């Protein structure tokens, strides 16, 4: 598919088919993604990619563990501002409505959240990490690298879910993988084949109108 179709069809997939992903495909995409933008050519991103028994072993450990306290970084801070909290709530409402999970079904909603720990059944998990001394510009580079990977995977017919949620178990994951505490476990990236029939993959995604976010000057 072309790049426009890849951008339009990419979404956070929360239900994957039980279908393996070829190592050759993963390696090819990651090889291509090395050319993602990088300020000063620092290329701060690093990753470990798991499938099969190594992935199952990590998931078993996560399911038996509790989130970090305190967490190593805060991804939820924008929720303290009304307009961003409203966007979060709208997405959650659309997801749970599509899955026919009412607001008071706490256990079912918690089960959806805990689905993060098994990456929603994805057969491959990329765990993105980098040295803690990296600052905001390098975090931005890592985001561009991850987006490049996600779009390249769409070009292969695959889907993803970027999981900052994995960062809430950063110390557990680092200990399991033998990563130094000088490393920040940034996120996971679930990779696999979308279940086209799953309600979690079919609700309408909302985006802010362009003119609410971007202003143009000097154009005829």
Q: Number of structural domains, the chain? A: 1
pTM beyond 0.85: the answer is: yes
Indicate whether 165 belongs to any domain: yes
Share of the chain above pLDDT 70, in %: 100
In the predicted structure, residue 80 carries a pLDDT above the cut 90: yes
Reported as a single tens digit per residue, the pLDDT across 155-214 is 999 999 999 999 999 999 999 999 999 999 999 999 999 999 999 999 999 999 999 999
Please report whether residue 82 resides in a domain. Answer: no
Residue 205 resides in a domain: no
| Structure confidence at residue 220 as a pLDDT band (50, 70, 90) | confident
- 9-55: pLDDT as tens digits: 999 999 999 999 999 999 999 999 999 999 999 999 999 999 999 99
Is there a domain that residue 204 lies in?
no
What average pLDDT does the chain have?
A: 96
**Could you tell me if residue 161 is inside a domain?**
yes
Q: What is the pLDDT of residue 194?
A: 98
Does residue 100 sit within a domain? Answer: no
Q: Examine residue 214 and state whether it is found in any structural domain, yes or no.
A: no
The residues, ordered by sequence, that sit 6+ positions from 127 with a Cβ below 8 Å of its Cβ are 47, 48, 49, 50, 166, 173, 177, 185, 187, 188, 189
Average pLDDT, stretch 64-84?
94
Question: In sequence order, what DSSP letters do the residues of 179-190 get, joined into one string?
Answer: --TTEEEEEEEE
Q: 185: which 2 tokens?
A: 């476990």
**CATH code, 17:** 3.40.109.10
Q: Which residues form the domain of 177?
A: 3-73+117-199
């Amino acid at each position: 598919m072309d790049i426009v179709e890849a951008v339009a069809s990419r979404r956070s997939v929360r239900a994957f088919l039980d279908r393996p992903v070829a190592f050759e495909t993963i390696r090819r995409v990651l090889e291509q993604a090395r050319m993602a933008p990088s300020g000063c050519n620092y290329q701060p991103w690093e990753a470990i990619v798991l499938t099969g028994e190594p992935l199952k072993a990590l998931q078993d450990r996560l399911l038996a563990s509790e989130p970090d306290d305190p967490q190593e970084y805060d991804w939820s801070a924008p929720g303290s501002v009304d307009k961003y909290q409203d966007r979060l709530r709208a997405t959650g409402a659309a997801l749970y409505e599509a899955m026919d999970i009412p607001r008071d079904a706490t256990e079912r909603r918690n089960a959806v959240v805990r689905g993060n720990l098994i990456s929603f059944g994805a057969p491959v998990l990329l765990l993105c990490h980098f040295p803690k001394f990296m600052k905001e510009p390098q975090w931005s580079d890592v985001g561009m690298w991850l987006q490049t990977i996600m779009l390249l995977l769409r070009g292969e017919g695959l889907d993803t879910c970027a999981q900052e949620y994995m960062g809430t178990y950063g110390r557990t994951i680092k200990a399991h993988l033998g990563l130094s505490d000088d490393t920040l476990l940034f996120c996971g990236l679930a990779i696999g084949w979308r279940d086209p029939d799953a309600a979690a993959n079919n609700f309408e995604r909302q985006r802010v109108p362009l003119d609410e976010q971007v202003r143009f000057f000097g154009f005829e």
